[in-house]
Structure 1
Amino acid sequence: MSFANAVLISDLHLTASMPRTAQRFFDFTENEARQYGALIILGDLFEYWVGDDAKAHSPFHLQVAQKIAAVADAGVPVFFMHGNRDFLLGETFAKKAKMTLLRDPQVLTIANESWVLSHGDALCTEDHSYQRFRRLVRSTWVQKLFLSLPRGLRIKIASTLRSNSTAQYQRAARFTPEVIQVKGDVTLQATASLMAMTGAKKLIHGHTHRPGYHQESLGGQHWERWVLSDWDFDHPETVLPKGNALAITAEGVHTLDLVQA
């Protein structure tokens, strides 16, 4: 696939309990998203997803689907790549939202250049326990087993996993911040392997919540890496409002500050 330009976002973690963040996304779909040749969502659009049957028919999630579908109806194709929170999002919801699902990683041509796109969690290879968990929950048999459970039980399991993950991160951040710094980020080796496999020189990912731009090299390879921001417009008492998008055009890569917009 090839596009003259595109806008990319990730890690919105949408949930009905964060209405300001959701509203900023709705505004984004009506404004910034329609100014580009494609909208690409690199995962964790939702805080969690336990199956299309459980979520695709709730009023909030239907509203999200309608807002995204309106972007596609306006002539801007929308693409979605699974994140670690919403990897169970399937074709049923994707069709409602008129999104095309992308595999991770994905190489696209944007503004006449090859770009590697990834959610980013697969590149955090120093976090061995997470990578084991990722391999388990991404396996077909585990997903089929999980989706066969009653919806209420699936939601309870997802909530427990999120709570345990948050508690574990907070403990580690308090006592071993240097470990969190390493485990929570992509590794140079994993990134180099990905770039060698694809042959591209430019990478965009999310997941780490560490927005920025990096020029990197290893073993004679050289590449550029952009990291998308997570979004949070609902907790001004503890977190400054945050959220950005990356626009790729013929003039280069531009960060869209969605807080100031």
Structure 2
Amino acid sequence: MIDNTRTAISYFIADLHLTENRPDISACFLRFLKNDAIEAEKLYILGDLFEAWVGDDDDSPYLKTIADALTALSKSGTKIYYIHGNRDFLLGQRFAKQANMQLLPEIDTIDLYGQHVVIMHGDTLCTRDIDYQVFRKKSRSWWWQAAVKSLPLFIRKKMAADYRKKSTAATAMKSQEIMDVTESEVIDCLEKYNSQLLIHGHTHRPAVHKVSANGANAERIVLGDWYEQGAWLKVTPDSIELLNQPLT
């Protein structure tokens, strides 16, 4: 039965990079759904829930476990919203339906207890990472995605594994400045959507940054990754908190 009397709480998470070979992260996520998100009215997943996504036709037992847990949360009364990240941009309506979550545009605005807020994964803000932005543009094209999806599942899995290795090696060679957001892009985004608050993930640097946009003070909140601990943003009508929890 759906609980229509949910507490005025919204959670935001990103960059869990769930994978079967990190059972500690998976277990922490399932506990979060059962013990924390269960009390909320909304859960926003801002990309990279999974380490990689090669297609909705991957019906592995592990992915079914994650989908079933999200479905249970949704059926209990928590609405779940999803924005694609740079690792799971191929996630489609088939899995979204299986997990009972709603897919949102790559940049969206929400009314968060009376505040007009911009939410996104955050990779589009990192404009100094030129190599990644070139790949991003190509990989979001319909022809590239159609070509990849036409390949057998086992080949797509191998391609994803190879890409992760190359990405890890390339990241190790890049400076922290290149991989972080471009401040002017943040301000442009806030002003384009006439907002004083931006929430995103991707950079794995949880913090609350003070900026100026639209002629007034504004904030950029960065969500943490889950490699070393569980991490989420808890928002109520009266408070905003970046929280974390040990994986085990």
Q: TM tier, shorter chain?
A: over 0.9
Aligned to 1:248: 235
How many residue pairs get aligned? The number is: 242
Identity %: 40
SS in 1 for 2:96: helix
Aligned to 1:177: none
- CA drift of 1:219 comes to 8.3
- CA drift of 1:194 comes to 0.7
Query: Structure 1 segments of 4 or more deviating over 6 A?
Result: none
Cα separation, 1, equivalents of 2:94 and 2:100 = 10
Q: Does 1:44 align with 2:31?
A: no
SS in 1 for 2:229: coil
Match of 1:142 among 131, 141, 144: 144
Aligned to 2:34: 30
Cα separation, 2, equivalents of 1:122 and 1:104 = 9
Structure 1: gaps (5+ residues): 174-179, 233-240
- CA drift of 1:255 comes to 1.9
Q: Does 1:201 align with 2:196?
A: yes
Cα separation, 2, equivalents of 1:167 and 1:251 = 43
CA shift in 2, pair 1:260/1:254, >3 Å: farther
TM-score (norm 2): 0.93
Cα separation, 1, equivalents of 2:214 and 2:182 = 14
Aligned to 2:75: 73
SS in 1 for 2:158: helix
The one-letter amino acid of 1:194's match is C
State whether residues 188 and 218 of structure 1, in contact with CA within 8 Å, keep that contact through their aligned partners in structure 2. Answer: no
SS in 1 for 2:203: coil
Q: Deviations over 1:182-217 (max 9, x none)?
A: 111111111111111100100110000000010012
TM-score (norm 1): 0.89
Q: Does 1:104 align with 2:91?
A: no
Cα separation, 2, equivalents of 1:71 and 1:112 = 25
Cα separation, 1, equivalents of 2:141 and 2:201 = 22
Cα separation, 2, equivalents of 1:218 and 1:118 = 17
Cα separation, 2, equivalents of 1:94 and 1:52 = 9
The one-letter amino acid of 2:123's match is D
- CA drift of 1:222 comes to 3.7
1:1-261 matches, cutoff 5 A: 4-53=8-57, 55=58, 57-170=59-172, 172=173, 180-217=175-212, 220=215, 222-232=217-227, 241-259=228-246
- CA drift of 1:221 comes to 5.5
The one-letter amino acid of 1:195's match is L
